[in-house]
């Protein structure tokens, strides 16, 4: 297994770990609110807006882990299949870094413009990864069967 392959797998695992960390923190905030009767179980069952602001921020950050990251996971699988190189690994880790920054902003200050630029950075990095993969696929197709 090449170093690039290991780094790609590591990036995918790190992105998955980010989702689990947010989920764990969200649970650690929500469960005490329910246990102390600070939120109505009947209301939260149908309305995410019934949670206090901090719990809502965590919920939104968790939901975001199933938007752009889905395209990231697909890109990683394609990259692994095509025999990706260092460029793909660097882009993968840059994307994960952007998602960590995005999640941090989302769950702390929630400054919309900062969060927006973190999102745009991640989207641009992910787009570059997809372009690299498309170019790699075209080059493989041009070269013909090995």
Mean of the pLDDT values across residues 92-101?
99
Dihedral sign for Cα atoms in the order 53, 57, 62, 66: positive
- Compute how many other C-beta atoms are within 10 angstroms of the C-beta atom of residue 23: 15
What's the pLDDT score for residue 48? 84
Q: What is the pLDDT of residues 4-56, one digit of tens each?
A: 999 999 999 999 999 999 999 999 999 999 999 999 898 888 888 889 999 99
Q: Which CATH number applies to 3-143: 3.40.1000.10, 1.20.120.550, 3.40.50.10860, 1.20.120.420?
A: 1.20.120.550
Whether 146 shows a pLDDT value over 70: the answer reads no
Confidence band, pLDDT 50/70/90 cuts, at residue 145: confident
């Amino acid at each position: 297994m090449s170093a690039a392959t290991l780094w790609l797998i590591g990036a995918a695992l790190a992105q998955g770990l980010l989702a689990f960390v947010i989920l764990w923190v969200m649970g650690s905030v929500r469960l005490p609110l329910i246990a102390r009767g600070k939120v109505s179980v009947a209301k939260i069952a149908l309305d995410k807006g019934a949670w206090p602001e901090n719990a809502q921020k965590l919920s939104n950050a968790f939901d975001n882990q199933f938007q752009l990251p889905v395209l990231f996971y697909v890109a990683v699988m394609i990259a692994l299949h095509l025999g990706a190189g260092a460029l793909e690994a660097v882009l993968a880790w840059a994307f994960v870094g952007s998602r960590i920054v995005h999640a941090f902003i989302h769950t702390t200050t929630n400054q919309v413009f900062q969060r927006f630029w973190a999102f745009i950075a991640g989207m641009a990095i992910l787009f570059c990864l997809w372009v690299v993969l498309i170019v790699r696929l075209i080059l493989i197709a041009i070269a013909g069967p090995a």
